[in-house]
Chains A and B, each alone.
Chain A
Amino acid sequence: MQEKIRALRERTEAEIGKTDTGRALYELKMRFQAELKTVMSGMRELPKEERPAFGKLVNELKESIERQFEERAAVVRKKELEAKYAAERIDVTMPGRKFRPGALHPVTIVRNQLIDIFSGMGFKVYEGPEVETDYYNFTALNTPEDHPARDMQDTFYLAEKLLLRTQTSAGQIRVMEKEKPPIKILSPGRVFRSDDDATHSPMFHQMEGLVVDRGITLCDLQGMLAEFARRMFDSSTKVRLRPSYFPFTEPSVEVDLSCAECGGKGCRLCKGTGWIEVLGAGMVNRRVLENCGIDPDEYTGFAFGMGIERIAMLKYGINNIRALFENDVRFLEQFR
């Protein structure tokens, strides 16, 4: 019996030493366990008094061999890993596999940013019709038929008194006719003027803002536009108001922002002035409020309007407005 145990030990120990894969080691272990089982089954044939000694021997064998298995397994695992590492090497500079999303149009991106900025200030978004009547586009905005300001914008006509809106201000009237103050709306959309060169496009986008409530002042307009400028461009952007004229606001102002390119020192972009003309604004003309059934002695308001393309061109450094409507994929993809 003891002979059998010694033989099993010697054979197994020798084989453990020779085994160098995890799988062979596992098989060897299974075989050893099976053989040990056979050896142990011989115990019943032993006299009772010899059994404890035999059991001790078997246990010693089992513990010793299992320890050796573990030690060997550690060595083998290490070797195998090393081999795996050596075999599995990739060129990490090869391109990754990706799905490339497209881009929103820069006008949409800027429009979304503007909406984001102003909706946080309590503005709702109203999109009016693009084909407008003469009344909403001009007359109600204090631009009667004989008004020279009608020449400021070359209008596309579809029929008598029916036109492609020249300004999103037309939307102001539609909102003010329906809603009572407090009113805070943003009216983005397409507008049309009979103009076509490097800085003018027969179609472009405007964003009109309107606030009507009690006690609204020119200082409020300045404050709101300053906040807009800081968020749209950068926190150091300054706002300058200067007198201008629009039929539907009084006083009217042209709003300049400090040039982001040179920080106001003067450069080619701002033609050396340090300022960039960005939008028109003013206090809503009393006549316009009256035309919409809002009492101008109780309420005041301000309105501002900006060209979305103009903002996009400034923001992204686009110098020809036509590039925005050619839809060249090499252009569009840059806004990803």
Chain B
Amino acid sequence: MKAPLCWLKDYVDIDVSAQELAEKLFSCGFEVEELSYLGNAVDRVVVGQVKSVADHPDSDHMKICVVDCGEAYGRELQIVTGAPNVFEGMKTPCALDGSTVVETNPAAKNPGGPKKIKKGKLRGVESCGMLCSGEELGINDDFYPGAEVNGLLVLDDSAPVGEDIRKVVGLDDWIFDISVTANRPDCQSILGLAREVAAVLKKPLKEPDCSYTEHATKKKPVRVEVQAPDLCPRYIGHYVEGVKGGASPAWMRRRLALSGLRSISPVVDITNFVLLEMGQPMHAFDADELGGGKIVVRRAKAGEKITTLDKKEFTLTPDNLVICDGEKPVALAGIMGGLNSEIKETTKNVFFEAAKFARDSVRRTSRSLGQSSDSSFRFEKGVSAYTSERGMARALHLIEELGCGTVTDLSEDVCAADLAPRKMTASVKKIEALLGISVPREEIEGILSRLFFAPVLDGDNLTVTVPGWREDVDGYPDLAEEIIRMYGYGHILPTFLDRARVTGGGLSEEQRRELRIKDILRTQGFNEACNYSFYSPKDFDLFRLSADAPERAAVHILNPIGEDLSVLRTFLAPSMLQNAVRNIRRGNEEGWLFELANAYLPRSLPVREQPEEKRRLVLGIWGNKCDFFDLKGAAEAIFEAFHLDVSYARAQKSWLHPGISAKVLLEEREVGCLGELDPAVADSLGLDKKVYLGELDMEALYPEMKGEVRFVNLPKFPAVRRDLALVADEEITCAQVEEVLMHSCKYVTKAELFDVYRGGQVPAGKKSMAFTLTFTPDDSAEKAFSPEALDGFVKKILGNLRFKLGVELR
């Protein structure tokens, strides 16, 4: 909300600087986001009076003037001007040597900013400054009459010579851009802010004059009928006749201009002024255009049409509230009037509307039609029924003050809202218990009085009457807030839960486990990534998922930022691939990343209830020095840390290399996959590096993870190692050999592949696999293994290998 200081001063005697006021407002809950000085770009420009005008010897259009700028700046300054409207005796703004005016050249570096004016020669004649136009001061006709004239700004004769021009044309002012919180719609108005200013400065508030006199009329009344009181709790209408056109007074035009509005006609200006000043959106209908002598407030009929003031046509639904006359819609309630009843220059009679419309109704209609206005903005925030009445009274007062019409005795007020003053009683002790401090009684009384709560203190009982504009206040904590924000948060002193009970805190077992998983990966060189929870449906195509792939059953966001961020992740690998691609394109040749996050699996589609949120771990590595087994090693580190006994089998995934990918099995259940990105997918992305991706379903793994460690006695005798080089058919897998090695002799505690070799003495179609076997004596052993005993074990193992797999010793 933008509030000019001069306007606030109409209601409060402000005796502090703009900066001090901004700080005070900040401390009581109104942050001034920007405090700007209106005459920022204009400096050292004063009122000058042209004493004489002479022709320039070297120019047809330039004139040499002698200008009186007052005792301080010079009585006889020679200034050259090219303005055609210069005349002897005129008072006009004079920019002195070293001054700044507004940059008017749109091609300049800072249009609207300051432009330096220096003493200099114009065609050989010295000029000590510049005479200025209104544009060069950054003002228009609404700021100062005649400011838009092409040429010098002709100032009123009353302007004192030598006076700072900013004071004369109204630029000596500050604009407060105040952020108003959602609970204070009453402060979306100058008067509302003035109330706060008065309270924080402990000054009285000068209420705007809302008095008016009704005159009897022979006009036919306009009857108001509200058919949707839920969406329109109050509708006030008042008939004004004999409306005149012409111009609004300068003070009103200036106020509107400061708020960025152009003056149109007195009646329209009054509606805009009341909206700004009182926070009450008003509408004025041309009463002679209202058919049937009535106003009906109702839900629109399906397909009904209206054309608004800005000439846009809308087709309505029963969700939209409309104002109709006896025949047709004449306004989109709270948003914009209809073109058919617009105020024109010829308008003679006006029917004023001041109403309260339900905020969600206005918001929904505004959103669905894509039509908004200053009115709808305020209705969405909330307008009180009290304000409607005051707004109407103020508008009628202004009609009289401006003399632009006659207020008749024809008025309507249909009110479903409860207008009785709300009395509230609260315990001071409870207020203080919430704050944790005690507040002097006179402070409580003073603060609440200044905020118009009319407090009455009787022992511990505090009775207040809630002001009509404060619909947000409904309990003692609200009063506590009013008191503390004015008393000052500096009075709140830190305590540390003196009265609360002790509670046990910290992470649960499951939460700690996730931290441990992250640490295991981190210590293996992985960096943790963090991706959005949504990606593009095109990622499913990139991953070549079949039409019926379960991953395609994803939840779609109804109002996404863009298609790229429109489906909730059903698996994380696409995000990880994006990360790899982005890194590789940025020249990051190697990377090891992981992310532990949720996948969202809908229970049914279209989604009606919360989807299942399943923890997933995705791994991604790329670079010249890594391969499938680095990826697998990372997964194995986790399985080993949590004593998970998993197995691996060749995987068939549309996005993984068919020869270099594995599914991870926990018992028979698939709990994840690991592999190289399918070269076809890599090609489609133009990747020149291999990317390895793995994804694990942690939700399936968590229940099987055993955190408990059981100690096993150390063997009494040392373990012994033997290396075996075996020759096997190509098809024999490492896992098959391991299986036999581990189960042929009870003393084998470890069988570790350390080399695979092809070629040389190994026949074609075969490979050599070298294993290190560890034999560990069990608890019952009486002595260490003898070489003979070991030979016996090996012989038995080799026999099994030969029998089961056709594998021979090399």
Contact = CB atoms under 8 A, between A and B. Distances in A.
Interface of A: 99-105, 107-108, 112, 115, 118-125, 127, 129-133, 145-149, 151-152, 156-159, 162, 164, 182-184, 190, 192, 194, 196, 202-203, 211, 213-220, 222-224, 226-227, 239-245, 247, 250-253, 283, 285-286, 300, 324-330, 332-333
A162 B609 contact: yes
Given A146-B363, A328-B583, 13 more contacts: A102-B521, A105-B530, A125-B508, A132-B610, A190-B597, A202-B565, A203-B534, A215-B433, A223-B497, A250-B477, A327-B529, A328-B588, A330-B588
Interface string B609-652: 11101000000000000000000000000000000000000000
B530 A325 contact: yes
Contact of A101 (B185, B502, B522, B597): B522
Nearest to A284: B477
Nearest to B502: A122
A300 B433 contact: yes
B528 A156 contact: no
B434 A300 contact: yes
A127 B514 CA distance: 13
A216 B433 CA distance: 8
A129 B26 contact: no
Contact of B613 (A129, A227, A245): A129
B485 A243 contact: yes
Given A101-B523, A103-B528, A156-B559, A162 B610 contact: yes
Interface string B483-523: 01100010011111111111111111001000100110111
B434 A119 contact: no
A222 B501 contact: no
B495 A219 contact: yes
B486 to A, nearest CB: 9
B659 interface: no
B579 interface: yes
Interface stretch (B254-262, B446-454, B550-558, B785-793): B550-558
B670 interface: no
B530 A324 contact: yes
Contacts of A223: 494-497
Interface stretch (B58-66, B107-115, B166-174, B176-184): B176-184
A135 to B, nearest CB: 11
Given A130-B598, A158-B558, A121 B505 contact: yes
A10 to B, nearest CB: 50
A29 B494 CA distance: 85
B588 A124 contact: no
Interface stretch (B343-351, B385-393, B600-608): B600-608
Contacts of B504: 122, 124
15 contacts: A100-B525, A124-B504, A129-B613, A156-B559, A157-B559, A159-B558, A184-B503, A215-B499, A216-B497, A219-B435, A220-B500, A223-B496, A243-B484, A250-B477, A250-B480
Given A102-B527, A108-B528, A283 B505 contact: no
A222 B532 contact: no
Nearest to A217: B436
B484 A251 contact: yes
A332 B528 contact: yes
Which 3 pairs across A and B sit closest by C-beta, in order of nearness? Answer: A217-B436, A219-B436, A146-B360
Given A122-B502, A242-B27, A218 B560 contact: no
B175 interface: no
B496 A224 contact: yes
A265 B676 CA distance: 55
Interface string B584-595: 001010111100
B500 A194 contact: no
Contact of B501 (A131, A213, A243, A328): A213
B179 to A, nearest CB: 10
A122 B515 CA distance: 19
Given A219-B436, A223-B496, A223-B497, A241 B489 contact: yes
Most buried by B among A115, A152, A159, A182: A159
A190 B533 CA distance: 9
B477 A283 contact: yes
Given A184-B505, A245-B183, A220 B496 contact: yes
A148 B435 contact: no
Given A103-B527, A286-B477, A217 B435 contact: yes
Contacts of B363: 146, 148, 151
Contacts of A101: 522-525
Contacts of A202: 532, 534, 561, 565
B500 A327 contact: no
Nearest to B610: A131
Interface in B423-440: 433-437
Interface residues of B, number: 93
B528 A328 contact: no
Interface of B: 26-29, 181-185, 358-361, 363, 380-382, 433-437, 475, 477-478, 480-481, 484-485, 489, 492-508, 511, 515, 518-519, 521-534, 555-561, 565, 568, 579, 582-583, 586, 588, 590-593, 597-598, 600, 606-611, 613
A131 B602 CA distance: 11
A183 B181 CA distance: 29
A76 B600 CA distance: 77
Contact of A220 (B498, B506, B519): B498
Contacts of B568: 131, 158
Contact of B497 (A203, A224, A240, A243): A224
Most buried by B among A121, A214, A220, A227: A220
Given A122-B502, A124-B505, A125-B507, A253 B495 contact: no
A37 to B, nearest CB: 37
Contact of A102 (B181, B437, B528): B528
Given A123-B505, A146-B359, A158-B607, A102 B592 contact: yes
B526 A102 contact: yes
A175 B445 CA distance: 39
B578 to A, nearest CB: 8
Given A242-B29, A251-B481, A164 B533 contact: yes
A332 B529 contact: yes
A158 B610 CA distance: 9
Given A102-B524, A220-B495, A220-B497, A252 B606 contact: no
Most buried by A among B433, B497, B524, B610: B497
Nearest to A103: B527
Nearest to A149: B182
Contact of A250 (B437, B481, B558, B586): B481
B507 A148 contact: no
Contacts of A324: 530
A245 B186 CA distance: 14
B503 A122 contact: yes
A115 B529 CA distance: 20
A115 B507 contact: yes
A185 to B, nearest CB: 9
A121 B497 CA distance: 10
Contact of A217 (B434, B519, B609): B434
Contacts of A157: 557-559
Contacts of A220: 436, 495-498, 500
